[in-house]
Structure 1
Amino acid sequence: MRFWLFQSLLLVFCLGPGNVVSQNSSTPLMMNGVLGESVTLPLKFPVGEKVEAITWLCNGTSIAFIKPEEAKSPFIHMTNPKWGERLSFTQSYSLHLSSLTMADTGFYSAQITTETSVTLSSYTLRIFKQLRNIQVTSHSRLSGNRTCEIHLTCSVADPDDNVSFRWQVSGNILLSEPNLTISWDPENSSEQNYTCVVENPIGSNLSFSVSAQRLCEGVKKNPYPDIKLIMIVVPVICIVFIVLLSIFVWRRRTGSHRLSPRQCQAPAESTRNIENVSVSPANSTVYASVTHPNRETEIPTPMKNNDSVTIYSTINHSKESKPTFPRATALDNVM
């Protein structure tokens, strides 16, 4: 309580009639810190004036009060214990903050009180992560004009809005975006390497290069036939198919009317096998002797006398004067 009373009285005394509050810069000084590392907020004193007190604030809240002493060590009081040992000061009373966390991001200011004025120095502290794990994914395909079309996407682990991407080839920037689409001719183009560069405000940067020739190795040959080749091959196939089908149908038709040699000999053989046929007009009895060929051989041979078969048929004539061909009324007897 005594200290706060002393500080308040000191500020009232310093800001008495005739004292002016001024700011070193109209805009805060932008300071960038790396997560886990340290940062120093520089402090400059008014020229030619004796500094009575220094008050450091974070987001409008006091974190330290310093009273310089010429003969002995300065008086430093930590007004916010949450900073602990992470907060320290240099010989010029600049604020040094170590083991930075994302929560340290914010607005800082230093109020310098002299015998005649109060000067305010402002800072904006931003905390960034080191870039890591850059990756480039690609997708290649053969376009309609027979060139290799490549889609590239560049990324890093845990990106934020302050990460910048750019694509470059041979040192020239092509595009300031993470995605890039290029067209490469496998037959006429030379080897090209495309590089993705990623940066953030703390100077951390990563790069990754890809080869267009390697990415297009799998798509150099068109998986689909040329349209001109299709126009030539398809009609030829159709004509060949029609010709083969016509030959097949013609052979089927001509083959159905052609008799084999064995079929042509069958009637003759049947005629030769019927011997000794006699008809008796009185009894209308037909005597026929049929000799069966030997089926085991190609040339039929007549049977022996004891192997012959005699067929007896009886034909009855009607009473009409003109004989007609009668129907057989009795089944042939085969001996």
Structure 2
Amino acid sequence: MQGALWPSLLLLLLVLQPSGSGRAEAGTMELSRILGDSVTFLLEIPAEQVRTVAWTVNATRSIVTVTAGTPPNVIVLDSSYEGRLRVPENNSLQITSLRMKDTGTYGAQITTASGISNRHFLLRMYKQVPEPTIVCDSVTCVKETCNYNLHCTVRDGGDNVTYSWTHTAGGAVVPNGSILHISLSPRDAHLNATCTAQNPVSNSSTTASAKGLCAAPASSLSYCHLKGIVLLLVLGALSAGIIAVHVLPGREQRRD
């Protein structure tokens, strides 16, 4: 009976045993920023308790160490962050003039009077989404209805760009995707459709009508018009030939 109790007692002791630092590691905080913006990693520890903070990125590069003081002693260890680091009074870290390559996981090893703790921050960088462009992929008309395919794109928008549409004909329609399929009668073809391109930190929109995007150029000729012109040219040539063969020789003979 006593032998059976030993595994349970050992498990209980392991559960009750404190961790090495006496504190659970904080979860990773995710932050998203736009190119050129700034970010602040908040430690949320009273400044008077902090002795030193060692900051790293992606667990391999040491970027700065901060020693408590008035003001704090800041030693930048990575030249790519030179002139872009600030240390507020609470010993948090601020990075200004953010670049795309600043994306990564930042770690802070904090030494206090009571021990060592860690904080982790995942920084994701994005570009400002530019104004999207809407083009007409295709249009087919049957009787009184035309089917339009409109395509929305952005140039150099970076990753994670998504698209949504709104259209007022027949009620609001908001499909997800860069292509909008709509069927419209001639009286509704002038109504506007709006494409919104967005990423986690910015968005931009463009509005246009299916009729304006898919209308044929004013200078183009339809097949029927082209046939009419060819027919007129043929008739003109025949008329000229008849005149040359029958009318003009008769006039010449009368003059003689």
TM category (shorter chain) comes to: 0.5 to 0.7
The TM-score, its normalising length taken from structure 2, stands at 0.67
* Identical aligned residues as a percent: 32
**Separation of aligned partners in 2, 1:161 and 1:79:** 30
Whether the 8 Å contact between 1:186 and 1:216 is mirrored in structure 2 is no
Counterpart residue identity of residue 58, structure 2: N
Which of 86, 89, 93 is equivalent to 1:88? 86
**Separation of aligned partners in 2, 1:212 and 1:159:** 24
C-alpha change, 1:59 and 1:139, in structure 2 (3 Å) is closer
Question: Where in structure 2 are there 5+ consecutive unaligned residues?
Answer: 1-18, 225-256
Kindly provide the CA deviation profile for residues 108-166 of structure 1, in whole angstroms up to 9, marking residues without a partner as x.
01122222232211111111111224210014533335411111001111133311100
Counterpart residue identity of residue 19, structure 1: S
The TM-score, its normalising length taken from structure 1, stands at 0.53
Max Rg structure: 1
Question: Considering only aligned residues, what root-mean-square deviation do their CA atoms show, in Å?
Answer: 2.9
Whether the 8 Å contact between 1:18 and 1:116 is mirrored in structure 2 is no
Say which SS state the counterpart of residue 176 (structure 1) adopts: coil
What is the 5 A alignment of 1:1-335?
19-25=21-27, 28-45=28-45, 50-60=49-59, 61-69=61-69, 72-170=70-168, 172-186=172-186, 189=188, 192-202=191-201, 204-215=202-213
Kindly provide the CA deviation profile for residues 32-79 of structure 1, in whole angstroms up to 9, marking residues without a partner as x.
2221232222221169x822221111111322222213xx32222223
Say which SS state the counterpart of residue 174 (structure 1) adopts: coil
Whether the 8 Å contact between 2:67 and 2:74 is mirrored in structure 1 is yes
Question: Where in structure 1 are there 5+ consecutive unaligned residues?
Answer: 1-16, 226-335
**Separation of aligned partners in 2, 1:74 and 1:96:** 14
**Separation of aligned partners in 2, 1:131 and 1:38:** 18
C-alpha change, 1:100 and 1:130, in structure 2 (3 Å) is same
Whether the 8 Å contact between 2:196 and 2:204 is mirrored in structure 1 is yes
Counterpart residue identity of residue 67, structure 2: K
**Separation of aligned partners in 1, 2:34 and 2:172:** 29
Whether the 8 Å contact between 1:150 and 1:181 is mirrored in structure 2 is yes
Say which SS state the counterpart of residue 154 (structure 1) adopts: strand
Kindly provide the CA deviation profile for residues 205-257 of structure 1, in whole angstroms up to 9, marking residues without a partner as x.
111112234456659xxx799xxxxxxxxxxxxxxxxxxxxxxxxxxxxxxxx
Counterpart residue identity of residue 106, structure 2: Y
**Separation of aligned partners in 2, 1:31 and 1:207:** 24
Say which SS state the counterpart of residue 162 (structure 1) adopts: coil
Please say which of residues 164-173 and 150-159 is displaced more in the overlay: 164-173
